[in-house]
Structure 1
C-alpha cells in the first residue's frame, strides 16, 4: 500500500512470481485503513462481482460500479458516485456525471477510501474481468523487494464535468470532444479472435473492422491479457490514429485448447483416381465445427442490486 498499486502476478511452473500488470488504486485512510494480510494467509476471492452496487452503510450513501468482493466488507470498485432519492424515498438511478473527481485525482497517490480499494472505471472493469474464484489476494504495506511494473497513466481531468475520464460511454464529454479528430470520425469495433492457449494474438486482430480504418493506424493492448489457459478473455485495445488521437476498444479473445483450435480448421482430402476408372472422385471435405463459446470469469450481476456494505 506504500505505492498505492494493485499488482497482478503470474507464477510460472517451477518459477518465481512475476509482476505483470500494475493498476493505480486508493486504499483506506486513517482509522478506516485497509487491513493488511499475513504473508501466509491471503484473502481468497469468492468470484462475486457486480456492475453496480449501492453502499447503504456509507455516509453519505454512494453508488459504486464494477465491484469485486475481496473479504468481509472490503471490495475493489470504481470511484463512488453521488446518490439521491426521490421525494417518495425511491433511489434515483445512477448518474454517471456525478463522479468523485477528488478520489480520481488521488489514485496511485493518496489514501482516501473508507477501507475499500478504489480504481478508475477502466481498471475496475479490467480487474472484474480478470479475477477468478479462489484467486489469492495479498494486501501488503510495503512493496520492498518486489519488481513492480509501471502503471498505465490515467487521462487528466481537464473538462468542466464530473465524468470519469476513462468511462468509455459515448455520452461522456471526454469522448464527445474528440469529434473533430479521427477518433471521432472512425468507429472501430471489437472482434473475438480465437487462439490456442499460450499464444497471444496480435492486438490488431481484436479489431473487427480495421480494414475500414485509415492507413497508419496502430494497435496495442492496454494491458497484456493472460491467455495461458482456455477462457473468454475481455481485453482493451488502444487504437491510435495517424493524427495522434486514440480510443480504447473493448474486445474479447476466445482462448481454446489445441484440440478445439484444430477442430475449427477445415481440412480436405486430395483427389484420388480409381484404378478401375478414369473418372476422378470428388474430394472429401471435413466439416468445420466451431468450439463452444467459453464463459469469462467472473460472472457479473446487473445493476439492480443493493449491497449492505460499509463505507467504500
Structure 2
C-alpha cells in the first residue's frame, strides 16, 4: 500500500505517537508531518525528529505550517499539489487533521485573517487542506477529522456554556468576552468541534455525488478524554495544570474504570486514529466515531439546512472556489 499521508499537528500529544505508528507499521507510506515551529529550539519538534530517526527507512518530511495564517496553509497546499503532480510524492492515502488550539485563560484572539484563532486552527485551515488537495487523493483515500465529546450541546464539566451554531455563523468568529475566561475558552473550542463534525456530513455527501471521488470518505473521531495531553498545560490556569499532574495522569486508569470509559492516554488514541486513517479494516467508513465505535453526533449536526450553512460559510472563510478545488460539484 503506497501513498502519502499528511498528518497535521504532528508534534502534538496525539501527533507524535500517531507519527510513530505510521512509520513503524506502514513503512511503505510517505509521511508528511506539519508543525507550527520546525526550528531546533522547539522541543516538541525535536521529539518528532527523534521518532523519525529511530526509523532509518522512513519516508518522512517535516513542513512548518502556521495554521493561524491561511496564506501559509494555501501555500503549503500548493506545494503538496505540485509535489504529487510531479511525482515527488505519491497520491494521498489520507489527511489526518490533528492540529488543534485552545485558550482557556484569555479572550478570543483574532488571527491576521480576522478569524477566531481556535476556529481557524481547528477547522478553517483544515478545510483548505482537504478541499485544495482532494484532487490529489488516491481513489479510495480517507480524511480523519478531530471532534470531541465537547461538541454535544449538553452540560459539560469543562464549561457552563453550551456550544451552538448560531443562525449568523460569522458570530463564531466574534465570540463574547467575559470574566469566565476558562468557560468561554472551552466554549470556543467546543464550537469548533461542533462545526467540524457538522461539516463532515456534507463533505461525505459531495464526495459520494462525484464519480471521481465517490470512494473517498471522511470520519470525525472523538478520541476520548486524554489525561496526559499537553493541552492541559498550554493556555490553561495553574489549577488545571495541577489537576492534570496530581489527578488526571496518575489516576487515569481509575477514572476510566469508575467515571469515563473513554478516558485514556494520547498514545492509545493515536492507535485508533491511524486505524481509521489507513487500516484496511476501516476502508470506506464514514461518519462520527467515539474511539473506534460508530456513534451518533449531536442532533444539530444531522440537520441538512445547518450542514449547508456550515459548508457554505466554511468555503467563504477558507477562500475555496471552483478555481482551487477539484470538488467542483460542491461549489455553487
Per the TM superposition, whether the score is higher than 0.5 is no
Q: TM-score range by the shorter chain?
A: under 0.3
More strand by share: 1
Structure (1 or 2) with the larger CA radius of gyration: 1
